[in-house]
Amino acid sequence: MRIILLFLCCFINASWAEDYSPWLKEFRPSSLSQQQQIEELAWFKQAAKPFQGITIRAISERINTHWYEATVIAPLFYQLTGIKVIHELSSEDDVVKKLQSQMDLGINYYDIYVSDSDLIGGHFRSNKVLSLSEFMREQGKQVTLPSLDVNDFIGLAFTTSPYNEILQLPDQQFANLYWYRQDWFARPELQQQFKAIYGYPLAVPVNWSAYEDIAEFFSKHVKQIDGHKVYGHMDYGKRDPSLGWRISDAWLSMAGMGDVGLPNGLPVDEWGIRRHGCRPVGASVKRGGALDSPAAIYAIQKYVDWLVRYAPPEAQKMTFSEAGAEIAKGHIAQQIFWYTAFTADLSHPDLSITDDNGKPLWRVAPSPRGAYWQPGMKSGYQDVGAWTLLKSTPLKRQQAAWLYAQFNVAKTVSLRKTMVGLTPIRESDIMSPEFTQRSEELGGLVEFYQSNARNEWTPTGLNVPNYPALSALWWQYIGRASDQKEDVSKIMQELAKSMDAALAKISHETRGACSPKLISSQDEALWLAHPGSPKPKLENEKPPGKTLAYSELIKQWQP
């Protein structure tokens, strides 16, 4: 009897070992067939054998996609592989600080990070981030998924060094797009009123002049819709780290401060930093940068003016996370740029910005461009959170963590994760019938990601040599304009000067072929007369407002 029981026990265990139903049940839809999924799952199970019993720590920012990873994918990965994952969720600022501390001190706080690719300029210069290209060829070869298919990742260009080495593996992506209430814009009485005041149709703004007019229209002329107070603009202004992202992510690029070039302006990028070869050489106009140029002052002045004149008064004291919840309340007509990572949060049927069937009453469209913008420049910001291994992490832990990273983006898992978090990373997911079918409920997100426009919305690039060190400057200075109402022109001069000083400090601390090296200061007029950025002040910074029907604009996004 005992022998029979023993046999039964072993038989059941063996059957369980081959039973992938918990994973197949959760990870659907998938771009793979069920048999291909089983093959991938079996590969992970086999590859993880040397690491069973190990516990690894991962950290990422707090968005829906990472909540799904931490609460669903990590436990299923553990069940499959025996590798336990503590997947921590924290604020982006905290993730950056921990990563930077580990890079500076060499202490293994985490085994793997989901780090925004905005840090790529520092990553490739630091020599502290593991080259995934090399790792996949050598020490990580045995733990690299044969069906990973790196060419399927749409954001790989943003995570690759100038030496063509992949430094980070994309895990989630989202863009900053214009957001507006299509149902309000479509109301005949509002269309007539707008045309009567401004002389052109109420539709999606193509330039900042139109955005400003629409903001004024809703805040100062319409004032109330269906008995409720409404506003023509939403933003936030509290002197807090999250304010910095607002500006460095997209404001200055949309205004047109930098040079033409994709993914980032060259030689001057959207941070206003000039690069000679691979060396950053200055941010102030005196050093050929653009951070205190007329275009930068124009951009920040508009940001402050719109916040004060057209946003709800409480927005001036709000942070990113506080402001994020506002548009769901249904009193905002438009927002110049909005992070699509929150698409799922705005699609609940019980919100006042969705109809009775749960379909959105809002749409996303390309963000309007400022007076200095020229064709060939980036059109906005895209966030690419990507798996990043540091050289200071012990090899065995790197290997186990790499398995976890790949599991989160493997084709077995990826489409399901995309459907939950709406932050697509793979071409195969984006073009899948399942994602395409959600077009109607996602207000333009599907069309954006299926088009080539996604390549014009780009992260911070190679001109920024140390993102954590330099990003702290943004919120500290811009906050003085938004929160304390100091003079914008003076603040931008001080910010540019501080950015130059910070670049000089980095050049002393990290010496290398691509480390910053400030060029000597010259008369600003010489640089302003020079072609490209920094650009001289335009005689007219408010050209006539221009709008386009959503149906026309969306054509730009059709494949």
Partner 1 sequence: MATLVKLLVTSLLLSSQMLKASDLVFNTYIDPPYVSQGDEGVTGISIDILKLLRQHSQLNIELHLLPLKRAYAVALDSANQCVFAIERTQSRESSFIWISPMFISRYAIYQRKLHAKHLASLDDLTKLRIGSYSGSGVGEYLTSFSITVDLAKTNLNSAKKLTRHRTGAWASDILSAAYIAQQFDLDISPKKYHFYSALRAIACNKNSDLGVLDKLQKSLNQLQKSGQIGQVLSKYEQQYQVDLGL
98: contact with partner 1 by CB under 8 A: yes
* Shortest Å distance, C-beta 482 to partner 1: 13
Strands 279-282 and 112-116, by their bridges, are unpaired
Q: Residues 54 to 93: which contact partner 1 by CB under 8 A? A: 55, 57, 59, 67, 70-72, 74-75, 78, 86, 88-91, 93
Among 22, 106, 277, 544, binds partner 1 (CB under 8 A): 106
Taken in order 141, 144, 145, 149, the sign of the CA dihedral is negative
How far is Cα 300 from Cα 174, in angstroms, rounded to an integer? Answer: 24
Omega of the bond leading into 29 within 30 degrees of 0 (cis)? yes
Q: Which residues, 312 to 331, sit near partner 1 by CB under 8 A?
A: 319
Q: What are phi and psi of 189, to 5 degrees?
A: -65, -35
Q: CA 132 to CA 411: how far, in whole Å? A: 19
* Cα–Cα distance measured from residue 491 to residue 377, given in angstroms and rounded to the nearest whole number: 25
For tokens 């509002």, what's the residue? 190
CB of 141 to partner 1, least distance (A): 26
Query: Contact 382/175 with Cβ under 8 angstroms?
Result: yes
Residue in 28, 97, 221, 505 binding partner 1, rule: CB under 8 A: 97
56 versus 204: smaller Cβ distance to partner 1: 56
- What is the b/e burial string over 6-19, where b = at least 16 CB atoms within 10 angstroms of the residue's CB? eeeeeeeeeeeeee
Nearer to partner 1, 434 or 494 (CB): 494
Shortest CB 54 distance to partner 1, Å: 11
Please identify which residue in 19, 26, 104, 552 interacts with partner 1, judged by CB under 8 A. Answer: 104
Site string for partner 1, 20-59 (x = CB under 8 A): -----------------------------------x-x-x
Mask: binding to partner 1, 458-477, rule CB under 8 A, as x and -? -----------------xx-
Nearest-approach distance from CB 341 to partner 1, in angstroms:
17
For residue 107, state whether it binds partner 1 (rule: CB under 8 A): yes
Q: What whole-number distance in Å separates Cα of residue 110 and Cα of residue 101?
A: 11
User: Least separation, in Å, of the C-beta of 457 and partner 1?
Assistant: 25
Helix orientation angle between 74-81 and 34-47, rounded to the nearest 10 degrees: 70
Helix (H) or strand (E) holding 115: strand 112-116
Q: Which residues contact 41 (CB under 8 A, 6 or more apart)?
A: 20, 23, 80, 412
Check if the beta carbon of residue 129 is closer than 8 Å to that of residue 100: no
**Minimum distance, C-beta of residue 178 to partner 1, in the bound complex (Å):** 27
Least separation in angstroms between residue 35's CB and partner 1 is 28
For residues 75 and 82, which CB has a smaller minimum distance to partner 1 in the complex? 75
Q: Is residue 229 helix, strand or coil? A: strand
For residue 304, the minimal CB distance to partner 1 (Å) is 18
Interface residues toward partner 1, by CB under 8 A: 55, 57, 59, 67, 70-72, 74-75, 78, 86, 88-91, 93-94, 97-98, 101, 104-110, 239-242, 319, 475-476, 479
